[in-house]
């Protein structure tokens, strides 16, 4: 079975982006001596699944940041939305969370990085998320795009680890999902 894993940063009030998708509130520079574990996490997965919202935002960065294959879930994007330079690196699928996980399992993927607010919520609803690493940024932005939303019921989490980063003020919590 392929498992889903989340590694994401939120404002203290639970947002992953401003309403207009701006990420200016995220720390812009890495502080020496503060390793969030992102590189190690990225090395541990076979690839990423993200929503259209996240994909479209990352395209605005210019440089493609992922050394691993990326699956974009979208009912509206067509394959020609992929820029030429990302051919072979990105695939767009119109499948449900369960269907895409089955497809990737057949391709031999065991661990998937699941990214984007709506996408994380829909994978959580389907019980496809194994664990969540959430890095809390010490800022309140008041409104924006939420990481979590309405759930069908309570989602129980077990805290695996918690780490404070004193220079930046970030706190990283690692939860296992039941
Ligand atoms: N702070 C962080 O660490 C972090 C991390 C990741 C993303 N972000 C930010 O979060 C924002 C995007 O998040 P988001 O919640 O708006 O969008 P998202 O989850 O990235 O994408 C949502 C879109 O994915 C498509 N989709 C396909 N199947 C789906 C399914 N089963 N469930 C839900 N969506 C599905 C839909 O697009 P169609 O209408 O095309 O079908 C939907 O509108 C961006 O601004 C990004 O920069 C921040």
In a domain, 30, yes or no: no
State if residue 25 touches ligand 1 by the CB under 6 angstroms criterion: no
Report the distance separating Cα 143 and Cα 39, nearest Å: 29
In a domain, 24, yes or no: no
Put simply, whether the predicted model's pTM sits higher than 0.85 gets the answer yes
State if residue 81 touches ligand 1 by the CB under 6 angstroms criterion: no
In a domain, 23, yes or no: no
Q: Over its length of 178 residues, how does the chain's per-residue pLDDT go in tens digits?
A: 899 999 999 999 999 999 999 999 999 988 999 999 999 999 999 999 999 999 999 999 999 999 999 999 999 999 999 999 999 999 999 999 999 999 999 999 999 999 999 999 999 999 999 999 999 999 999 999 999 999 999 999 999 999 999 999 999 999 999 9
E-strand stretches of the chain: 3-11, 15-17, 47-51, 70-73, 90-93, 111-115, 129-137, 145-146, 157-165, 170-177
For 42, phi then psi, to 5°, come to -60, -40
Domains identified in the chain, total number? 1
Range of the domain at 165: 3-17+36-177
In a domain, 92, yes or no: yes
In a domain, 144, yes or no: yes
Report the distance separating Cα 62 and Cα 65, nearest Å: 9
- CATH code of the domain in which 84 resides: 3.40.430.10
In a domain, 65, yes or no: yes
State if residue 23 touches ligand 1 by the CB under 6 angstroms criterion: yes
């Amino acid at each position: 079975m392929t498992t889903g894993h989340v590694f994401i940063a939120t404002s203290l009030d639970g947002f992953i982006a401003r309403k207009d998708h701006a990420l200016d509130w995220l720390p812009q520079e890495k502080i020496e001596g503060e390793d969030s574990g992102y590189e190690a996490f990225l090395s541990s997965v076979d690839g990423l699944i993200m929503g259209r919202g996240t994909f479209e935002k990352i395209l605005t960065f210019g440089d493609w940041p992922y050394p691993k294959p990326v699956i974009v879930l979208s009912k509206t994007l067509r394959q020609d939305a992929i820029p030429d330079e990302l051919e072979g690196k990105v695939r767009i699928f119109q499948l449900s969370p369960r269907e895409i996980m089955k497809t990737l399992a057949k391709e031999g993927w065991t661990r998937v990085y699941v990214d984007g607010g709506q996408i994380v919520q829909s994978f959580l609803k389907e019980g496809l998320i194994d664990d969540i690493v959430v890095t809390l940024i010490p800022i309140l932005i008041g409104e924006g795009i939420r990481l979590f939303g309405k759930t069908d019921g309570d989602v129980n989490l077990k805290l695996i680890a918690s780490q404070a980063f004193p220079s930046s003020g970030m706190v990283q919590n690692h939860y296992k999902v039941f």
